[in-house]
Amino acid sequence: MMKNLQWRMGLIAVVIGLSVWAFVPPSQKVKLGLDLKGGVHLVLRVKTDDALKVETDTTVERLRDTLTRAGVAFTKIEATSPTEFRVEGLQDDAAYRTQAADAETVYDRSSEAGGYSYRMKPNVANQLRDETVTQALETIERRVNELGVAEPIVARYGAQDQILVQLPGVSDVRRAKEIIRSTARLELRLVEQGPFPSREAALQAFNNVLPPDAELLPGKSEGSGTGGTSSSAWYVVKKVSAVAGNDLRNAQQSLDEFNRPAVAFTLKQDAAVRFGSFTEANIGRPMAIILDGRVMSVATIQGRITDSGQITGITREEMLDQVITLKSGALPASMDYLEERTVGPSLGQDSIRAGVTASLAGLALVVLFMMFYYKLTGLNAVVSIVVNLLILLGLMAAIPVTMTLPGVAGFILTIGMGVDSNVLIFERIKEELATARGARAAVNAGFDRVWWTIVDTHVSSLIAALLLLQFGTGPIRGFAVTLIIGLLSNVFTAVFVSRTMFEMILSRRHQAQTLSI
């Protein structure tokens, strides 16, 4: 009996020691959430349709090319949605089908009068969407790292196409948001004609009908406004780009010939070869450097260019941001912000202070009540609450679980709800004492009979907490995890620790009939 007791006390001492060691000093070991530390929490949606549209557009262009070269007649071939396209006016069906066989690996074909319509296979589309989000995630990770934020979080979130970005301690939220979101798709395309002073003027020059392989793009946006479509320069450019977003090898800060800020970029090996023959074939023609759908600059091709180029006519800030975005690669699709939560550091500080005050006040109230109501045995409960909190803090630091503002609430609830188990046990012991079988028997019966009640109550609380974990966003998850750890360690403290303390007291008395309860 004595040996057993010593073993139990040793175990408790080890658990307490490990817990304290894990979270001391708390300012370094307990991780704080954005709502306590300050920072910005962003949720983005990747417009995966963009990537599907690129796939469909490319297929359409390739098919048009193949058919034209093979001499298969058709009247029209066009994309009708991001995942669908249609071919019309076919004469020679057999010839068409041999030439267009490729498209069927990705698209389901169905017959129409004089043609076919294609729809992307659902599994291919899903896979493409998934890859797009993964790629976007990796790109954002690189950009966030370039921003130099400590301990950022970039992760998939909620629905299939959402990404969560958490940046602790970021002060310039707007810049961070722009950098994360800019697609950074660099294109080099031939210019048909331009610049024109307005969209209307540009259309007029073509009698309102642009060539099928060309489109109208605005020049650099004026002023510092973001997202606006105002521009005083419009260009009619080819739809096809000589390079794609992932052809870029590097980008770095540079200066143009007038010592103004510029971004120098270099192309990857295979892109450089392609670009070399492209420029060679088009010497003397103007070429546009297009970034995210805006014509940044236009230069006449003087000779064969292989692997490098320059974006000029930008401000210093634009240069810095473009280097970050271009270096980290293009996003496969554009993105939207769905949610933004920014907490200033001073509010976080105040929240921490309020949380500590409330925890201490809650602890004090419960301790006073237990000491008043259960006298000396109340001390037993107090020790078990304190050990419970120490284990909770220790596990939170060790796992680690981020302490959030709702997590503080979970911490305080652990005090009030944790002591319930002690109350159930003490009340049962009181009842058993009334049957006058002696204190030892009463304590044993108290713990044994209440055990399954405690299991049942904890399981029902755990069910709710687990669903909370599943439902919640960051801060709420912090609450749920705190609650779950608190509930589990409560089983240990209210049953094991508390019982050990009872036995310690009883072991010193031979014929105990009474307890201070």
Partner 1 sequence: MEIFHNANYDFIRWRWHAIVLSLVVIAAGVALMVVRGLPLGIDFTGGSSLVVRFSQDVTLDRVRNAVASLPGEEVVQQFGDPSERRVLIRLPQQEGMEEGTALEQASLRAEQALRDAGLPTFEVDNRELVGPVIGADLQRRGIYAVLTSLAAITIYIGVRFRFSFAVGAIVATLHDVLVTLAFLMFFRYDISLNVVAAILTITGYSVNDTIVIFDRVRENLRSRRRDPLSQVVNTSVNQTLGRTIITAGTTFLSVLALYLFGGEALEGFAFTMLVGVISGTYSTVFIASAIAIILSQQKGGKPQATAAPSGEATERQGRKPPRRARAS
Query: Scanning residues 189 to 228, which ones bind partner 1 (CB under 8 A)?
Result: 227
Instruction: Note whether 413 binds partner 1 by CB under 8 A.
Output: yes
Among the listed residues 70, 240, 281, 463, the single contact to partner 1 using CB under 8 A: 463
Give the CB-side neighbour count of residue 136, counting CA atoms within 13 A. Answer: 33
Q: Which is nearer to partner 1, 358 or 386 (CB)?
A: 358
Give yes or no for residue 472 binding partner 1 (CB under 8 A): yes
- Judged by CB, which is closer to partner 1: 306, or 457? 457
Q: Residues 75, 80, 160, 357: which binds partner 1 (CB under 8 A)? A: 357
The CA-CA-CA angle for residues 159, 164, 168, to 5°, reads 160
Residue 81: CB minimum distance to partner 1, A: 19
Distance CA 517, CA 511 (A): 17
Pairing, β 335-343 against β 39-46: antiparallel
Q: How many CB atoms lie within 10 A of CB 81?
A: 13
Backbone angles phi, psi at 477, to 5 degrees: -60, -35
Q: Is 350 in the site for partner 1 (CB under 8 A)?
A: yes
Give the C-alpha distances (Å, rounded to integers) separating 42 from 137, 181, 337, 393.
13, 11, 7, 28
Among 202, 296, 391, 412, binds partner 1 (CB under 8 A): 412
Query: In the complex with partner 1, which residue's Cβ is closer, 288 or 335?
Result: 335
Answer for which of 22, 30, 43, 54 binds partner 1 (CB under 8 A) is: 43
Nearest approach in angstroms of CB 448 to partner 1 is 5
For residue 118, what is the DSSP state? E
CB of 242 to partner 1, least distance (A): 30
By the rule CB under 8 A, 465 interacts with partner 1: yes
Name the pairing type of β-strands 308-311 and 335-343.
unpaired
**398 lines the binding site for partner 1 (CB under 8 A):** no
Nearer to partner 1 among residue 51 and residue 243 (C-beta): 51
Nearest residue to 298 via CA among 253, 236, 205 = 236
State the minimum distance, in angstroms, from the CB of residue 346 to partner 1. 6
Cβ atoms of residues 234 and 199 within 8 Å: yes
- Least Å distance, CB 289 to partner 1, is 25
341 is a site residue for partner 1 (CB under 8 A): yes
CB of 463 to partner 1, least distance (A): 5
Least distance from partner 1 to the Cβ atom of residue 182, Å: 13
User: Among 408, 439, 501, 506, which residue interacts with partner 1 (rule: CB under 8 A)?
Assistant: 408
Q: By C-beta, is 72 or 343 nearer to partner 1?
A: 343
Figure out which of the listed residues 78, 80, 222, 373 binds partner 1, where binding follows CB under 8 A: 373
Binding status of residue 444 toward partner 1 by CB under 8 A? no
**What's CA 426's distance to the chain center, in Å?**
47
Residues 318-337 that bind partner 1 (CB under 8 A): 335-337
Residue 189's H or E segment, with its range, is: strand 186-196
Q: What is the dihedral of CA 443, 444, 449, 452, to 10 degrees?
A: 110
Q: Which is nearer to partner 1, 298 or 462 (CB)?
A: 462
- Which residues 476-495 are close enough to bind partner 1 by CB under 8 A? 476, 479-480, 483
Taking the least distance from each CB to partner 1, the nearer of 222 and 448 is 448
Q: How far apart, in whole angstroms, are the C-alpha atoms of residue 382 and residue 389?
A: 11
**Between 59 and 183, CB nearer to partner 1:** 183
Q: Which stretch, 93-101, 185-193, 261-269, 443-451, contacts partner 1 (CB under 8 A)?
A: 443-451
Tokens linked to 331: 């996003």
Separation CA 270–CA 409 (nearest Å)? 57
Residues 126-155 that bind partner 1 (CB under 8 A): none
List 13, 73, 354, 504, residue binding partner 1 (CB under 8 A): 354
Report if residue 10 touches partner 1, rule: CB under 8 A.
Answer: no
| Amino acid type, 333 | A
Asked if 377 interacts with partner 1 (CB under 8 A), we say no
Looking from the CA of 496 toward its CB, the CA atoms found within 13 Å total 17
Instruction: For residue 342, state whether it binds partner 1 (rule: CB under 8 A).
Output: yes
CB of residue 223 vs partner 1: minimum separation in angstroms?
Answer: 16
Question: What's the first-to-final CA gap in the chain, in angstroms?
Answer: 24
Contact 165, 268 (CB under 8 A): no
- Asked if 311 and 287 touch (Cβ cutoff 8 Å), the reply is no
Query: What DSSP element (H or E) covers 186?
Result: strand 186-196
Touching partner 1, residues 20-39 (CB under 8 A):
35
Which listed range, 22-30, 120-128, 265-273, 353-361, lies at the site for partner 1 (CB under 8 A)?
353-361
- Torsion angle of the four alpha carbons 110, 111, 114, 118, in this order, in degrees rounded to the nearest 10: 0
Look at the alpha carbons of 449, 454, 460, 462 in this order and tell me if their dihedral is positive or negative: negative
Binds partner 1 (CB under 8 A): choice among 365, 376, 399, 504:
365
Place of tokens 């919640």: 472
Q: Does 428 bind partner 1 (CB under 8 A)?
A: yes
Torsion, CA 331, CA 335, CA 340, CA 346, rounded to 10: 20
- Choose the binding region for partner 1 from 79-87, 113-121, 307-315, 452-460 (rule: CB under 8 A): 452-460
CB of 336 to partner 1, least distance (A): 4
Report whether 271 contacts 243 (CB < 8 A): yes
Bridging pattern class, strands 186-196 and 162-168: unpaired
